[in-house]
Structure 1
Amino acid sequence: MGASPWIVSDELWERVEPLLPRKERRFRYPVRRPLPDREVLCGILYVLHPGIQWEHLPQELGFGSGMTCWRRLRDWNEAGVWQRLHEVLLAELNAAARLDWCRCVVDSSHVRALKGGRETGPSPVDRGRPGSKHHLITDGHGTPLALILTGGNRNDITQLLPLLDAVPPVKSRSGRPRRKPQVVLADRGYDHDCYREQIRARKILPVIARRGTPHGSGLGVYRWVVERTFAWLHGFRRLRIRWERRADIHEALLKLACCLITLRQISSWC
């Protein structure tokens, strides 16, 4: 039997530990030692995978309280740990020539936001209930490159250029870091000539389906990878519904999930 998905593996920990902020020495309560970061990360993964509430985190497993894990997740996100970890993992894939820069794919997915909060809005696909959108860009293999959280009523086309801008500069063994694909693929929701011109101005070829044209354009042969990545992303049950009122906490969990998916891509070819 495989290890539980919330157990922090050695390959994950050796990449995360150098990125964690150093702790200041405690003078007020010197006897009380803070919970080790690795155990707290296990608690965060325990919430992310089964999707339980923070207050229901079982302390008998040694993860600490849900509030401890919540605070540590908040602090690490503010310190940019998950963004830097994602860039480190992408650099590993790129150095091994496992990132497909020939094309990138963009799409979005809607989730309910039961508690409201920032980056929510009345969803046109859910009878006006509060919701959020996950806007995602992947490489040609489905590896997540960047993700943006918006309200559920935000049009997909408005996030096309921000997604391209959100792709980090990815290092390689030689030469300059790369962050720009040759082609970007999108469905009919991104059909707008004004945006096509702006993408071409960035020296990227837009391949976007036209509204009103019959299905069967052939783009699905390449675009299916982003749908698969959404399935991987929402395989983390905590992300199927947005429970966090604070947008930064939900974004932190999204970034962590992208890191875990990217790590799986590395493990699949090692």
Structure 2
Amino acid sequence: MAQSPSWQEIPTRLSVQEFEQFVWPHLSKGRRGPARKLSALAIFNYILRLLYLGCQWKELPIDKDRHGRPEIHYTRIYRAFRRWGADGCFDALFEGSVFKLHQDNRLDTSVIHGDGTTSAAKKGGDNLGFSGHKKVKGCKVVALCDRNCNVIAPFVSAPGNRNESPLLREALPQLTRIARAVGLDLRGSVVSLDGVYDCRRNRKAIFNRGMIPNINPNSRGRKTPKRGRKARFNPAIFKERFRTIERVFAWEDKFRRLLMRFERLSQLHYALKTLAYTMINLRHYCRS
């Protein structure tokens, strides 16, 4: 894998040029009401600051103006975040990052790695369930990335008590949709997954999309040994997941707001998670 100088430098603040190139075209612009006290760049950087620091909205450190007072109230930033999330701006921003990576030939989709991660939610909320494996109550997502640790598909969310195996069949249509939108050809790509996704329906769903499954066989899913030819499995490809998808989840933990879910509304938590995956994709172009 070709490494770039910003290989592990996930941006947490954007400059004017970076904002105008990657973010501003995907944000909704208000046409009514009074003018903003601050620019959209400053508000967006405040959202990134909250995502990185993990603090509460009311504890967000806000710079002072020339009179020594906070230059903006935190509720104005929160309302802008809610408006952009409701307008689908963060989803468009994520899709734009994948399109930019594809344009610059930074995507290596010969192998696609997928896995799930669980976020604990001790404050309650919707779309939650108790995960017996993690021993926490929360929600989980299933994400897909390429060999260069770029997230290439919108994640699929579910309560923590849901099995991850059926979630893959919900994530694959999202993968093909965004591949079609950015002009990415995934025919012949290898989809590498761990043993929790080992079932006939998942393999068939991958085959039907012109891709090749590379799933670690899970003997616990069968009462008797399977007869006939063994399913295709390459251990060398499977070993890459520890420096691809697991590294992506480690980079996600850099944003402390995602270590534990504090938002009671799931769409707000998933908007922050989408923004974090977008920043992971933009590490090739933006400096922290």
User: CA deviation digits over 1:116-156, x for unaligned, max 9?
Assistant: 222210111343x4211121100121101122222111111
Which residue does the alignment assign to 2:26?
Answer: 19
Matched with 2:83 is 75
Equivalent residue number for residue 223 of structure 1: 241
Matching residue's letter, 1:197: K
Q: Does residue 139 of the first structure (1) align with residue 159 of the second (2)?
A: no
Q: Where in structure 2 are there 5+ consecutive unaligned residues?
A: 1-8, 65-69, 221-233
Match of 1:205 in 2: 212
Once residues 89 and 179 of structure 1 are traced to their aligned partners in structure 2, the CA distance between those partners, rounded to angstroms, is: 17
Change beyond 3 A, Cα 1:141–1:219: same
SS of the residue corresponding to residue 236 of structure 2 reads coil
Shift, 1:265, TM fit: 3.0
- Map 1:159-238 to 2 at 5 A: 159-167=167-175, 168-169=178-179, 177-178=183-184, 180=186, 182-212=189-219, 217-224=235-242, 225-238=244-257
Q: Is the 8 A contact 1:111 1:240 kept in 2?
A: yes
Match of residue 66 from structure 1 = 74
- C-alpha contact 2:11 2:279 (8 A) present in aligned 1: no
% identity of equivalent residues: 29
CA root-mean-square deviation: 2.5
Aligned length: 255
- Displacement of 1:50 after TM fit? 1.0
Partner AA of 1:201 in structure 2 = N
Tell me: CA distance 1:99–1:63, structure 2 relative to 1, closer, same or farther (3 Å): farther
What does residue range 87-102 of structure 1 map to in structure 2 within 5 Å?
A: 87-102=95-110
SS in 2 for 1:59: coil
Matches of 1:203 and 1:57, distance apart in 2: 47
Distance 1:53 1:217 in 2: 43
Tell me what 1:113 maps to: 121
Per-residue CA distance 1:79-110 (angstroms, 9 max, x = gap) = 12112122222122112211112111110111
Alignment match, 2:133: 125
The one-letter code sitting in structure 1 at the alignment partner of 2:18 is: L
Higher RCO structure, 1 or 2 (CA under 8 Å, sep 6+): 2
Q: In the alignment, what sits opposite 1:36? A: 39
Q: Give the TM-score normalised by the residue count of structure 2.
A: 0.80
Deviation at 1:7, TM superposition (A): 3.2
Is the Cα–Cα contact under 8 Å of residues 114 and 131 in structure 1 kept in the other structure? yes
Structure 2: distance between partners of 1:233 and 1:47? 14
TM-score normalised by length of structure 1: 0.85
Does the C-alpha gap of structure 1 residues 204 and 37 become closer, same or farther in structure 2, counting only changes over 3 Å? same
Give per-residue Cα distances to partners, 1:36-76, cap 9 Å, x unaligned: 21121121111100100111112345563332222211111
Separation in 2 of the partners of 1:246 and 1:90? Answer: 26
Q: Is the alpha carbon distance of 1:196 and 1:136 closer, same or farther for their aligned partners in structure 2, counting shifts above 3 Å?
A: same
Which shifted more, 58-67 or 150-159? Answer: 58-67
Separation in 2, partners of 1:6, 1:222? 27
For 1:72 and 1:158, how far apart are their aligned partners in 2?
Answer: 35
- With over 3 angstroms needed to count, the CA separation of the structure-2 counterparts of 1:63 and 1:9, relative to structure 1, is farther
Tell me which amino acid in the other structure corresponds to 2:14. V
AA aligned opposite 1:47: L
Shift of 1:165: 1.5
Structure 2 match to 1:251: 270
Letter in 1 for 2:201: C
Sort the Cα spacing of 1:131 and 1:95 in 2 relative to 1 into closer, same or farther, 3 A.
same
Q: Retained in 2: the 8 A contact 1:6–1:43?
A: no
Report how far residue 226 of structure 1 moved: 0.3
